[in-house]
Amino acid sequence: MSEAQQVHSSFYRFAALDDPSAVAERLRELVVGLGGNVIVAAEGISGAVAGPPAVLQAFEQALVTEFGGAFAGMVFKHSACATRPFHLVKVHVKREIVAFGVPGVTAPETQDDTHVSPQRWRELLDEPDVVVLDNRNSFEWRLGRFRGAVDPEVKHFRDFPAYVESQAPQWKAEGKRIAMYCTGGIRCEKTSAWMQDQGLTVYQLDGGILNFFQAMPDAAADWQGECFVFDKRIAIDAKLQETATTAEEVYADEPDGAWRLARAKRLDPAS
């Protein structure tokens, strides 16, 4: 298989699953012919996979039609690949599809009014009472970000709640609204309801950075730098095209960079 034949797909859905292990067992049959990672938990599914277009299409069709309709209507965000993103494929069963660090917090299964379209997001970037908050790790923010975005200075998503709690009193005192984004939307889904419970007015970019790039032909007008992706392509630009940035360059100045690089290679070594 040539690398040029690969299409990357990322997806997630918060949905109550009675038997995550049974869902994972069926998924292991469906992912044959693809590479990537899929996480299943009682709160739903999250995945990033890649492969030939026809194989990928069949997998996605099965996802939305099987499993009792739990994943019906799920959105798949696609991008072409010059580099084969994954050499292995794995389906994991975990406690959460994204680890937040606050027990009992999950995302609502139906979208609420915190979601904003890419077009509305562009407007929020210019509103003076809005804090544009990057809901990713600091090394991702340094590689690329929306104009005016604040770096939360966290090394792991599970550290994000402590950052919000430290800043919330000032944001509320100043009458700030929070416009939050992440790569594909899943981290913001987990965070937004919890932040509203802290008394904050929150907006989240629907579908994350990847959806903004896909929806806005002139996305580079609002995006500075590159977007880190958690696969062998390493980074893409605002046109969803792979860049020449290497993992070694991304992690070079990180205190735990050597660990992150070794872990990435161990989890999906080149074939």
Which amino acids are annotated catalytic? 182
CA 40, CA 97: separation in Å to the nearest integer?
6
Query: 256: which 2 tokens?
Result: 């735990």
Q: How many CB atoms lie within 10 A of CB 159?
A: 13
- What is the C-alpha end-to-end distance of the chain, expressed in Å? 12
CA 202, CA 138: separation in Å to the nearest integer?
21
Indicate the helix (H) or strand (E) that contains 262: helix 257-267
CA 215, CA 207: separation in Å to the nearest integer?
10
* Amino acid identity, position 39: I
Spell out where 81-129 has E strands.
Answer: 89-93, 115-116
For 6-21, the three-class secondary structure string (H helix, E strand, C coil) is: CEEEEEEEECCCCCHH
Which 3 state secondary structure label does DSSP give 97?
Answer: coil
CA 171, CA 99: separation in Å to the nearest integer?
25
